[in-house]
Structure 1
């Protein structure tokens, strides 16, 4: 029987009355639990210590610290944003979220600044939109900034600054990174028309409008080419390397299998664009034909040289200006014979002796 000084006892019957948990409290704060089972089994006792009561004087310092901490939070201006890294397509609109969560100031001062290329400029100052956003931006909900018709030049860091004079912490700021994506335009592709077997060939693909910078991929006969031909057994007969950052496709030594229709695709997160197909022909180098052509040229040069020599020997290149008839001027008894040549006005004379 439980002594009266141990206090009230609590019993819980489980398992259709076959197991009983009984507990009673000691005056000094200890608990005794006894499990009594039907039958001769021995009782099992467990002792639990009741946690001591906290005195009010011990709780007072923590209570005052909590009140002080809550007072600091209430008296400080705090900002948050629903999206600190917004991404938008060019010519669309975007909202830069800046929300005041806590403030005791009814009319805080709001400023927006743009940070780009290590330069900081005002976007919203003195309750007016400034700079290149004038006419296509406005303030929403006292602090957020909305921009219409965004361009690639709007990609930058934007800082929202709030000054609340009546708060314990008067200033807070938040930085938002805006990314404006631009779809690539049709890239410019350059493909050599004909390349001999074994020679090097370079294919170019360039695009300058996409933002962020696009990545390039090349296709041959509508089959995408890997960045390295050695990485794919399908291209084991080829030897090329593709730079997806610059768009160049370099063949170190072309093979007959490299002939085909080539085109390039420039793509980024905003979209993609491709150039027109261009054919590259790989032909065998005919060594026998080249040697035969050289021999023919040498033979022609030899015949020309022989013809010139024969013509010179026969006198075709000698200027005969002395072929004329000798006559004597009867009007001049000077004993001089005059010779007229074929050229008019060309007179020569020679002396003659009369015996």
Structure 2
């Protein structure tokens, strides 16, 4: 009796026959390197395959956003039964370089690329009843976008001896921009105590640099590389009056650059106290001047009212009654400062009546 081969031997023979037979394995090839395409240009996603195309041949292109699993991919187009079916939000911009894609080339063309087109594209070739070992290819596409104008801000204690944090960030830019700071030169000499954390542009060595030594006549615009080029943050410590001025942040990637500026004001508390005292003195002088002016005006108005009351046809206190002539002697007492008026009998003369006397 002839002994039949075991199950393991039969399985191995079947696999060898399937793999050695022509057209029974689908191999998809795509570029290993990510693809970068400038904004608004046309992207060509290369995909090729090797198999004997049959009646059931099908091709599918799909897309998944960055950071999402492959299972969340969304279809872009299908090719099956000799017909092409674009679908999804990219349908109007997606097409095949070779249609029909039955000659081993299944490359995708995507026109007018946008930032939302950045992600992973899946080229899936299916040709049943082929046994395929790798019928799927993945291509990473990045739409290159220049940095948008960054936003500059600062926080901290911007007084002499204090510290300040300068921040810079762009809302758009692919690949991610890197940030650098530039301190525009000023006419005043920098203080040797001003320090900055970052990199010296001359040595590219990290650490704390002396701002006074860095910003000299040979560095009218001293360039700082931020401690973290991704976040765009620059820390200034031990501020001095020379630390004040205009700071410019430059966001850069391979597509271009953009910048923003901010003005940093450094205050000196000691000068502030002197200025406050001076302002207080000036304010006191002003208040006193106003008070004197108002008092003088009040006195002037009072004298004016007295003249109006006792002037004109009013009877004077020193008027002499008709028929009486009075001679008043006034003596000035220099020691007492008083005015004395003393009428006497010898100085008063009675006017006799000129009318005839009846006896």
Residue from 244, 247, 259 that aligns with 1:275: 259
- Deviation at 1:184? 1.4
CA offsets 1:186-235 (integer angstroms, 9 cap, x no match): 4354689xx6534555545342231233221101248xx75489813334
Query: 1:94 aligns to what?
Result: 43
1 or 2 for the larger relative contact order (CA 8 Å, sep ≥6)?
2
**Structure 2 CA distance, aligned partners of 1:299 and 1:242?**
52
Query: Does the residue aligned with 1:300 lie in a helix, a strand or coil?
Result: helix
Contact 1:88 1:180 in 2 (8 A): yes
When the two chains are superposed, the root-mean-square deviation of aligned CA atoms in Å is 4.6
Shift of the 249–232 alpha-carbon distance from structure 1 to 2, 3 Å rule, reads closer
Residue from 218, 227, 231 that aligns with 2:207: 231
Shift of the 242–313 alpha-carbon distance from structure 1 to 2, 3 Å rule, reads farther
TM-score by length of 2: 0.56
Gaps (5+ residues) in structure 2?
1-6, 186-195, 201-205, 215-224, 313-359
**Structure 2 CA distance, aligned partners of 1:217 and 1:183?**
16
Query: Does the residue aligned with 1:275 lie in a helix, a strand or coil?
Result: strand
Contact 2:197 2:234 in 1 (8 A): no
Higher strand proportion (structure 1 or 2)? 1
Gaps (5+ residues) in structure 1?
1-60, 326-355
Residue from 125, 129, 134 that aligns with 1:162: 125
- Deviation at 1:82? 2.8
TM-score by length of 1: 0.56
Query: 1:38 aligns to what?
Result: none
Shift of the 226–272 alpha-carbon distance from structure 1 to 2, 3 Å rule, reads farther
Counterparts of 1:84-233 in structure 2, within 5 Å, are: 85-103=34-52, 105=54, 108-116=57-65, 119-126=72-79, 127-141=84-98, 142=101, 143-169=106-132, 172-189=135-152, 197-198=160-161, 201=164, 203-221=166-184, 227=198, 231-233=207-209
CA offsets 1:275-303 (integer angstroms, 9 cap, x no match): 36666564645243432221221233345
Q: How many residues align?
A: 263
**Structure 2 CA distance, aligned partners of 1:103 and 1:66?**
24
Contact 2:150 2:260 in 1 (8 A): no
- Deviation at 1:150? 1.7
- Deviation at 1:250? 4.7
